[in-house]
């Protein structure tokens, strides 16, 4: 598999433009003051299905030939990719089949079903997932769309940075959270082509720092028993994303769990937007490494807003 080129990201943008939302770039003078730099939040929490994942899923689906499209698409995911693929498939008039671990939160399962996808449960080991996925593929003929190890997915995710840099071409730093590395890969390819002078920094929780370890040791180190509330960032890099990030990233930084929670609180309190923990990680890193960012113009991809807000209402009002 080859890395997508900048031209693939431009083409992805034209391909998906009528389906996606051009999400706003928000600023907050209070957060600028607090962090000592100029922050530009690219708000993919407002994207359809609540996260940037809808961009890649839509691009991958719209690139299928008519026959493949008719057979439907499938994936294994308990997170935002599952919802994004389910909605993108429905929009394209085809079916999505999603393999999810039995332990997946009910609200996530419901969200995927509400978009019209069929859900298949499996044990939560990687082996069980892959076995179940193969079973589903054999039964349906559906096309497998990996959450990040796929050039079309990466090209789709890169369109968020394209929009950010169109509005703010003069940034000093661009950051995105790193889980499987699809978003950061697309962001890196778009950013380095548009302005090679921009410093590219990956953002990871200290409790799931496999990408940092991989980049620092120059070999792919899988994520083993990650511990973080940033549930979108638990996965390992793939060969493809590892190779792209090795080529383009200037650095990859980590932050504590306390700073992720603080960053979430500040974003919700000051900017009045709902973000999931993973989406707050770049800002958490700025809070943790303030001196590095002093007076810089920093663009960040706010990856998603799929937070289970019912946790926020602890009484029995949910009944």
Q: Please report, as ranges, the residues that interact with a second copy according to CB under 8 A.
A: 24, 45-46, 50, 257-258, 261-262, 264-265, 268-269, 272-275, 305, 307, 309-314, 317
Residues with Cβ within 8 Å of 259's Cβ and at least 6 positions away in sequence, in order, are 284, 285, 287, 288
Please name which of 271, 33, 77, 41 lies closest in space to residue 177, comparing C-alpha atoms: 41
Q: Which residues contact 66 (CB under 8 A, 6 or more apart)?
A: none
Q: How far is the CB of 289 from a second copy (least distance, A)?
A: 20
Nearer to a second copy, 227 or 265 (CB): 265
Alpha-carbon span 233 to 172, nearest angstrom: 25
CB of 92 to a second copy, least distance (A): 17
Residue 136 near residue 99, CB atoms below 8 Å: yes
Residue 35 in tokens? 């962090």
CB nearer a second copy, residue 139 or residue 309: 309
CA-based nearest residue to 52, from 156, 189, 174, 166: 156
Residue 24 or 141 having the CB closest to a second copy: 24
Q: For a second copy, which is the closer residue by CB, 237 or 307?
A: 307
CA 52, 56, 57, 60: dihedral to nearest 10 degrees?
A: 170
**Nearest distance from C-beta of residue 41 to a second copy, angstroms:** 12
Tokens of 86: 């389910």
Q: Shortest approach of a second copy to residue 203 CB, angstroms?
A: 19
Q: How far is the CB of 190 from a second copy (least distance, A)?
A: 24
For the CB of residue 125, give the shortest distance to a second copy in the complex, in Å.
29
Which tokens in the block code for residue 287?
A: 């809070």
């Amino acid at each position: 598999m080859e890395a997508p080129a900048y031209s693939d990201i431009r083409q992805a943008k034209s391909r998906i433009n009528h389906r996606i939302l051009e999400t706003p770039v928000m600023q907050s003078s209070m957060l600028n003051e607090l962090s000592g730099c100029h922050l530009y939040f690219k708000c993919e929490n407002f994207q359809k299905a609540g996260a940037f994942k809808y961009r890649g899923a839509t691009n991958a689906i719209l690139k299928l030939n008519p026959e493949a499209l008719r057979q439907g698409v499938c994936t294994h995911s308990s997170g935002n990719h599952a919802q994004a693929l389910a909605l993108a498939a429905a929009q394209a008039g085809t079916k999505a089949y999603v393999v999810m671990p039995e332990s997946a939160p009910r609200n996530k399962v419901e969200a995927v079903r509400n978009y019209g996808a069929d859900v298949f449960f499996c044990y939560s080991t990687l082996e069980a997932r892959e076995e179940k996925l193969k079973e589903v593929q054999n039964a349906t003929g559906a096309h497998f769309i990996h959450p990040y190890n796929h050039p079309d997915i990466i090209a789709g995710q890169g369109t968020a940075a394209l929009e950010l840099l169109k509005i703010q071409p003069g940034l000093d730093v661009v950051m995105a959270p790193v889980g499987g590395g699809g978003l950061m890969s697309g962001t890196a390819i778009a950013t380095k082509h548009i302005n090679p002078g921009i410093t590219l920094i990956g953002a990871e929780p200290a409790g799931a720092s496999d990408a940092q370890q991989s980049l620092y040791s120059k070999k792919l180190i899988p994520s083993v028993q990650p511990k973080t509330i940033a549930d979108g960032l638990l996965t390992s890099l793939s060969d493809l994303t590892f190779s792209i990030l090795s080529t383009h990233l200037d650095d990859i930084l980590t932050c504590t769990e306390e700073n992720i929670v603080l960053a979430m609180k500040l974003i919700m309190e000051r900017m009045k937007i709902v973000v999931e923990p993973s989406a707050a990680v770049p800002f958490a890193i700025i809070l943790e490494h303030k001196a590095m960012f002093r007076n810089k113009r920093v663009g960040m991809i706010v990856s998603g807003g799929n937070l289970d807000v019912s946790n926020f209402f602890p009484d029995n009002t949910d009944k």
